[in-house]
Amino acid sequence: MALAEIQIGKNGVTENFLSTLKDNFKNHDTVKVSVLKSAGHEKSQIKEMSEQILESLGKNYTARVIGFKIALKKWRKPMR
């Protein structure tokens, strides 16, 4: 399946962002999230955002922070 890309802006991880992310996972297995400068460009902030996203999505997802992007992957079976 094709890769989906969305962005996190100055509002950060909001309910609207999470619903858009969940909608993207209906059609895609992998979603890349770009963190804009207005959202914060410190590695610790990006790591916190990825943990917050994973917490709201559930156990079937994993995240990997690469620079200023968060790569999210949906698995068929729950991860540990």
Whole-model pTM above 0.75?
Answer: yes
Give the structural domain span for 69: 4-74
Read off the pLDDT band of 50 (50, 70, 90): very high
> For residue 43, which of 65, 27, 24, 59 has the smallest C-alpha distance?
65
**CA 69 vs CA 36, 37, 41, 50: distances in Å:** 9, 11, 10, 10
- Write out pLDDT tens, residues 36-49: 988 877 888 999 99
Which residue(s) pair with 61 in the sheet?
74
CATH of the domain at 66: 3.30.110.60
Q: Is the pLDDT of residue 1 over 70?
A: no
Residue 14 placed within a domain = yes
Residue 79 lies in a domain: no
| More reliable by pLDDT, 39 or 52 | 52
Half-sphere exposure of 7 (CA within 13 A, CB side): 7
How many domains in the chain?
A: 1
80 in any annotated domain = no
Percent of the chain topping pLDDT 70: 94
